[in-house]
Homo-oligomer: A and B are copies of this chain.
Amino acid sequence: MEEKVYADLIEKLKQKDIRGFIQEIKDKNEMDIAEFLTELPDDKITIVFRMLPKEIAAEVFACLDIEKQEKIITSITDKEIEYIIEELYVDDAVDMLEELPANVVKKVMRNAKSDTRKLINQFLTYPENSAGSIMTAEFVDLKKNMTVRESFERIRKIGEDKETIYTCYVTAADRKLEGVVTVKELLLSPYETVIEQLMDKNLIFAHTTDDQEDVIELFSKYDLLSIPVVDKEDRLVGIITVDDIMDVMEQEATEDFEKMAAITPSEKPYLKTGVFTLAKNRVIWLMLLMISATFTGDILMRFEEAFSVVPLLVALMPMLTDTGGNAGSQSSTMIIRGMAVGDIEIRDIFKVVWKELRVSLIVGFILAIVNFLRVIIMYPESTAVAFVVSISLFATVILAKTIGCTLPMLTKACRLDPAIMASPIITTVVDACALTIYFSIAVAVLHL
Listed in ascending order, the chain A residues whose CB lies under 8 Å from chain B are: 27-29, 31, 152, 155-156, 159-160, 165-166, 183-184, 187-188, 200-202, 204, 219-225, 242-243, 245-247, 249-250, 253-254, 256-258, 260-263, 269-271, 275-276, 278-279, 282-283, 285-287, 289-291, 293-294, 296-298, 300-301, 304, 307-308, 311-312, 314-319, 321-323, 325-327, 329-330, 332-338, 341, 343-344, 348, 351-352, 355, 358-359, 362-363, 366-367, 370-371, 374, 378, 397, 423-424, 427-428, 431, 435
Q: Across the interface, do A242 and B254 meet the contact criterion of CB distance under 8 Å?
A: no
Q: Give the residues in chain B near A223, CB-CB below 8 Å.
A: 31, 243, 246
Q: Across the interface, do B435 and A343 meet the contact criterion of CB distance under 8 Å?
A: no
Interchain CA distance A256-B262 in the complex, whole Å: 17
Task: Known contacts A242-B246, A278-B355; decide if A318 and B319 are in contact (CB<8 Å).
Answer: no
Interchain CA distance A34-B298 in the complex, whole Å: 55
Smallest Cβ-Cβ distance to A307: which chain B residue: B314
Selected A-B contacts with CB under 8 Å, 23 pairs: A28-B202, A29-B202, A29-B222, A156-B188, A159-B184, A160-B188, A165-B187, A166-B184, A245-B246, A261-B329, A270-B343, A270-B352, A271-B355, A275-B359, A279-B359, A282-B327, A294-B319, A297-B318, A307-B307, A308-B308, A314-B314, A314-B317, A326-B424
Main secondary structure of the interface of A (DSSP, over half): helix
Q: Across the interface, do A316 and B297 meet the contact criterion of CB distance under 8 Å?
A: yes
Q: Across the interface, do B297 and A301 meet the contact criterion of CB distance under 8 Å?
A: no
Smallest Cβ-Cβ distance to A160: which chain B residue: B188
Q: When the two chains form the complex, which single residue of B297, B333, B344, B352 contacts A319, counting CB atoms closer than 8 Å?
A: B297
Task: Known contacts A293-B319, A323-B289; decide if A258 and B334 are in contact (CB<8 Å).
Answer: yes
Task: Known contacts A261-B330, A263-B333, A308-B308; decide if A204 and B283 are in contact (CB<8 Å).
Answer: no
Q: When the two chains form the complex, which single residue of B29, B152, B319, B335 contacts A290, counting CB atoms closer than 8 Å?
A: B319
Q: Give the residues in chain B near A31, CB-CB below 8 Å.
A: 221-223
Shortest CB distance A381–B (Å): 13
Q: Across the interface, do A286 and B250 meet the contact criterion of CB distance under 8 Å?
A: no
Shortest CB distance A421–B (Å): 13
Q: Give the residues in chain B near A370, CB-CB below 8 Å.
A: 287, 290-291
> How many copies altogether?
2
Task: Known contacts A222-B29, A327-B286; decide if A271 and B318 are in contact (CB<8 Å).
Answer: no
Q: When the two chains form the complex, which single residue of B200, B243, B322 contacts A428, counting CB atoms closer than 8 Å?
A: B322
Interchain CA distance A279-B298 in the complex, whole Å: 33
Q: Give the residues in chain B near A249, CB-CB below 8 Å.
A: 246, 249-250
8 A-B pairs with the lowest CB-CB distances in the bound complex, closest first: A261-B333, A223-B243, A293-B319, A279-B362, A269-B343, A300-B315, A297-B315, A304-B311
Task: Known contacts A261-B423, A329-B262; decide if A318 and B435 are in contact (CB<8 Å).
Answer: yes
Q: Across the interface, do A323 and B286 meet the contact criterion of CB distance under 8 Å?
A: yes
Interchain CA distance A176-B32 in the complex, whole Å: 24
Q: Across the interface, do A330 and B282 meet the contact criterion of CB distance under 8 Å?
A: yes
Smallest Cβ-Cβ distance to A341: which chain B residue: B250
Q: When the two chains form the complex, which single residue of B160, B269, B286 contacts A326, counting CB atoms closer than 8 Å?
A: B286
Interchain CA distance A192-B278 in the complex, whole Å: 58
Smallest Cβ-Cβ distance to A431: which chain B residue: B318
Interchain CA distance A219-B225 in the complex, whole Å: 13
Interchain CA distance A18-B190 in the complex, whole Å: 31
